[in-house]
Amino acid sequence: MRAMADDTENLIRQAEAAVKAGHWAQAEKLWLDVRKRDPRNPKAAFSLAIHAMQRREFKEACKLLELAVAASPQDPFMLLTLSKARREAGDNAGEAQAIDAALAIDPYYLPALLAKAQRYDRIGASPSAAMFYRNAVKVAGPEQHWPEVLRQQLTQARSYAARKAAELHGQLEAAMAPMMAGLGASQSERWREAASVVAGLTEPYRQQANQIYVPRLPAIPFYERKLFPWAEQLEAKTDVIREELKAALASEGQDFAPYINIRAGQPVDQWQALNHSQKWSHYSLWKHGEPVEAHLAKCPQTRKALEAVDMAKIGGLCPNAMFSALAPHTEIPPHTGETNARLVVHLPLVVPEKCTYRVGFEHRIWKEGELLIFDDTIEHTARNDSDQLRVVLIFDVWNPLLAQEERELVRALAAATRAFNAPH
């Protein structure tokens, strides 16, 4: 018995070597010899099935693959190969059963997810096909990590899912159109985003606080100006603030420092292009809660205007206030802020055309003298596609949905965290 087993193993090695060398006829003969000695050998059955499929003898291939699966029932690759043989043999129900069996073993088995999507597409079940294509792309992860052997299928999967999502989105918008006319701007944006999420065009944008997250505050991208009693008074100061900005640019342009300053040895992530770059620079007025007196002394009207605002005061964190300058043809990559206890305010001062801003799903265009007030723990990004510099005044205010007592709790959390992390 031992000698027979050794002979069988030797034949298997010879067959595998013949396959690697491209000697298909010799390999098939060797696999047939293996089956004579060991009729239930799964490698021999599987390999002979592949030879049968090459000859388009799909029914014979199915019989051999069923033997191989019976011997190795937990191998999803064998089951997926069986599904292909059954499809070519005209056994549609059998194909579906084999794909489902492969996914029962491994629900994240990428070739089986793609096969299931392709089958749904063939039988005209396009919504289900789109869902499985979308799932396959998610499982595959970032495009740079896609297996080369599946890259073309995954590219097609992504295109198919996007096309069907766009078709569904069009139908959803048409269904909502009669009811949208009576909604206000913020309500309209909510339901436009709802349609986009339902269709699968975008994911929900959720708050991601880098430091202090206050649960149960709603993820509102842009807040209505009417919630802030000081808004109109500040907007009325736009011209005088702009003049102080221009003076700072003219006399102390060198004091506009790169906004991103990541030290060597720290992960740069999405900030590679802007690290230590003047393409996104700032002139600080308050920094991490402390006034920058040298700059404030040269911007007295701006200081007065900001001190009349309910700026958020959280030790070591805010207020921050600055003139933020974005160079021509520059994009700030998507990112999130420190805490949803505060909101960030933009007062646009110098805004050429082709400058846009996105918070979560919502896109806005800066208009000089009109405030944008937003939750920066929701992913946001900015672009300057013009040939000129864009400058806004940025500062922090309290989230108006926090009670006065809760502000103290935010300060307590920040102080205790800072004390815990301090070097001893």
The model's pLDDT over 348-389, given as tens digits with 9 standing for 90+, comes to 999 999 999 999 999 999 999 999 999 999 999 999 999 999
Give CA–CA dist 324/321, Å, rounded. 9
Question: What are the start and end residues of each CATH 2.60.120.330 domain in the chain?
Answer: 225-421
Q: Are strands 257-258 and 280-287 parallel, antiparallel or unpaired?
A: antiparallel
Q: Are strands 321-326 and 355-359 parallel, antiparallel or unpaired?
A: unpaired
Model pTM score: 0.81
Would you call 191 exposed, middle or buried from its count of C-beta atoms within 10 A (0-12, 13-18, 19+)? middle
Give CA–CA dist 99/111, Å, rounded. 9
Q: Is the dihedral of CA 286, 287, 291, 297 positive or negative?
A: negative
Biggest alpha carbon–alpha carbon distance for the chain: 98
- Contact (Cβ atoms closer than 8 angstroms) between residue 335 and residue 344: no
Among candidates 281, 259, 416, 301, which has minimal Cα distance to 408? Answer: 416
Assigned superfamily of 2-164: Tetratricopeptide repeat domain (1.25.40.10)
CA 158 vs. chain centroid, Å, equals: 14
Structure tokens at 237: 């100061």
Q: Give the 3-state secondary structure of residue 422.
A: coil
Question: What are the start and end residues of each CATH 1.25.40.10 domain in the chain?
Answer: 2-164
CA 93 vs. chain centroid, Å, equals: 37
- Contact (Cβ atoms closer than 8 angstroms) between residue 393 and residue 241: yes
Give CA–CA dist 394/346, Å, rounded. 5
Structure tokens at 314: 């959280």
Give CA–CA dist 82/61, Å, rounded. 8
Among candidates 287, 358, 290, 291, which has minimal Cα distance to 324? Answer: 287
In order along its 424 residues, the chain shows pLDDT tens digits of: 444 455 777 787 887 787 777 777 887 788 787 787 877 788 888 888 888 898 899 999 999 899 999 988 999 999 999 999 999 999 999 999 999 999 999 999 999 999 999 999 999 999 999 999 999 999 999 999 999 999 999 999 999 999 999 999 999 999 999 999 888 888 899 999 999 999 989 999 999 999 999 999 999 999 999 999 999 999 999 999 999 999 988 876 678 999 999 988 888 889 999 999 999 999 999 999 999 999 999 999 999 999 999 999 999 999 999 999 999 999 999 999 999 999 999 999 999 999 999 999 999 999 999 999 999 999 999 999 999 999 999 999 999 999 999 999 999 999 999 999 888 7
CATH number, span 225-421: 2.60.120.330
Among candidates 403, 166, 173, 418, which has minimal Cα distance to 315? Answer: 418
